[in-house]
């Protein structure tokens, strides 16, 4: 995958994670941001990190 694309997604992830911590949001907005972040992590992640992400999601649920 293109390195610039990965860099842009990583920057977006960092901004959204920071905004989740700093800005007050409703629970629905936080849920939507969380889903977007997980999908983006899935897009840019390697095989090993995708497996870890799925494991983390299943243990959390």
Tens digits of per-residue pLDDT, 8-48? 888 888 887 787 778 787 888 878 877 887 888 777 777 77
Alpha-carbon distance 41 to 36, whole Å? 9
Q: H/E element holding 54?
A: helix 47-60
| Torsion angles phi and psi, residue 26, rounded to 5 | -75, 165
pLDDT the model gives residue 2:
78
Residue 57 has pLDDT above 80, yes or no: no
Alpha-carbon distance 26 to 24, whole Å? 7
Its pTM stands at 0.55
14-26 residues labelled b (16+ CB within 10 A) or e (exposed): eeeeeeeeeeeee
């Amino acid at each position: 995958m293109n390195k610039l694309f990965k860099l842009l997604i990583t920057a977006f992830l960092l901004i959204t994670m920071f905004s989740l911590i700093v800005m007050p949001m409703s629970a629905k907005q936080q849920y939507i941001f969380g889903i977007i972040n997980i999908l983006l992590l899935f897009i840019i992640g390697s095989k090993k990190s995708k497996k870890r992400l799925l494991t983390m999601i299943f243990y959390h649920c």
